[in-house]
Amino acid sequence: MLKNILLSLALLVTVAVSYSDSHSKKPSDSTPKKKLYILTSTNTLRSLSQEIAGALLKIESLTKGKQDPHYLSAKPSYMLKANKADLLIINGLDLEVGWLPNIIAGSKNPKIQKGKQGYLDTSDFITALSVPTTKVDRFFGDIHPFGNPHFLLDPIRAIQAVKAISNKLAELDPNNKTQYIKNQEMFEKKLLKKTTEWEQRIKKSGVKKIVSYHSSFEYFLDRFDLKLTGLIEEKPGIPPSSKHILHIVKKIKQEQSFCVLTASWYQTKWAKKLKQMANILVQPTAIEVGAVETATNYILLIEGIVQSIESCKAK
Ligand SMILES: [Zn+2]
């Protein structure tokens, strides 16, 4: 309790200092204009925003590529970053619900509060899958009550999110509007071309079904016409029991569906069991930019998933 009070006090003081810092100096015409500071909730959103902004803006992500964006502890340093942000870009659909609301509230930054000009929820611009039709209860696990939030693994939905980012950057920084639109169009063209190539390669691989740990790949599977055999986790956020693993192994054998993908950060005790019980090798795959060394940007992130599927075929 005392620790919490001290932490809050320290934060208040630091926020107050940074407020007075940024408000005491009035920029004159001769002062070079400060770059807008963009904060994103995930590293994939940072990377996508960077495609549009290039070096025109300073962009940082709250979660690092190797961190699971479902979970993050809301450190005071994150609130300080949020305090200075001109724009906060989030994934939405409750992906960050466990930690981001505390950071936004703790930032004391009126610009990035929900509904304000400096708040962009990219999920507002896409059609969600698996939107529950009945009221969901968090008792049943980490269920997202507005639908599956992992839409950025679908390149076409990523294009829609990038358009929304580009429009928002142009609105906040109209002097560079032409550049943002140009970058967005170039990125879209490149991504559409790659998507056609990925479609052909997945088709050629002969893989038609996937088993995955969490429902991370739902939009990816939907885009590339792949089916889901089943999920390894028992319920969202809850690791599988031995009984559930037995059930999945039975399904894998029945459906001859041997391509098992998992996000690189999930524990893989169950993977050893799959190897022992059915001689199935699990492909740990990046689902965030930066989750593995090779996934340095969005196109390489999706490329990595496509390569995982291609290597399923080789086994
Ligand atoms: Zn999830």
pLDDT for 267 equals: 67
The CB density around residue 192, as the number of other CB atoms within 10 Å, is 13
pLDDT for 310 equals: 95
pLDDT for 189 equals: 98
Strands 227-231 and 260-263 come out as unpaired
Strands 119-121 and 227-231 come out as unpaired
pLDDT digits (tens, 9 = 90+) for 248-273: 999 999 999 989 998 888 767 788 88
Tell how far the Cα of 95 is from the centroid of ligand 1, in angstroms.
6
31 CB contacts (<8 Å, ≥6 apart)? none
Residues paired with residue 37 on neighbouring β-strands, in sequence order: 58
Q: Are domains 34-187 and 200-314 of this chain identical in fold?
A: yes
Token readout for 192 is: 């559409």
Tell how far the Cα of 57 is from the centroid of ligand 1, in angstroms.
29
**Distance in angstroms (rounded) separating the CA atoms of residues 245 and 64:** 30
Task: End-to-end CA distance of the chain: give it in Å, rounded.
Answer: 55
Tell how far the Cα of 176 is from the centroid of ligand 1, in angstroms.
35
Domain extents in the chain = 34-187, 200-314
**Distance in angstroms (rounded) separating the CA atoms of residues 198 and 156:** 12
Whether 87 contacts 36, CB under 8 Å: yes
pLDDT for 138 equals: 61
Tell how far the Cα of 96 is from the centroid of ligand 1, in angstroms.
10
pLDDT for 24 equals: 43
**Distance in angstroms (rounded) separating the CA atoms of residues 262 and 268:** 9
Report DSSP state, residue 259. -
pTM value is 0.88
pLDDT for 163 equals: 98
- Label residue 249 left, alpha or beta by phi (over 0 means left) and psi (-120 to 50 means alpha): alpha
Tell how far the Cα of 284 is from the centroid of ligand 1, in angstroms.
16
Tell how far the Cα of 294 is from the centroid of ligand 1, in angstroms.
22
Tell how far the Cα of 216 is from the centroid of ligand 1, in angstroms.
6
Name the stretches of the chain with pLDDT < 50: 1-3, 6-7, 9-11, 13-28
Tell how far the Cα of 69 is from the centroid of ligand 1, in angstroms.
9
Residues paired with residue 262 on neighbouring β-strands, in sequence order: 284
Report DSSP state, residue 35. P
In the three-class reduction of DSSP (H, G, I as helix; E, B as strand; rest coil), residue 260 is classed as strand
Fold (CATH) for 34-187: Rossmann fold (3.40.50)
pLDDT digits (tens, 9 = 90+) for 220-247: 999 999 999 999 988 877 888 989 999 9
113 CB contacts (<8 Å, ≥6 apart)? 104, 119
Fold (CATH) for 200-314: Rossmann fold (3.40.50)
Tell how far the Cα of 94 is from the centroid of ligand 1, in angstroms.
9
pLDDT for 215 equals: 92
Tell how far the Cα of 147 is from the centroid of ligand 1, in angstroms.
10
Tell how far the Cα of 8 is from the centroid of ligand 1, in angstroms.
30
Tell how far the Cα of 202 is from the centroid of ligand 1, in angstroms.
24
pLDDT for 206 equals: 95
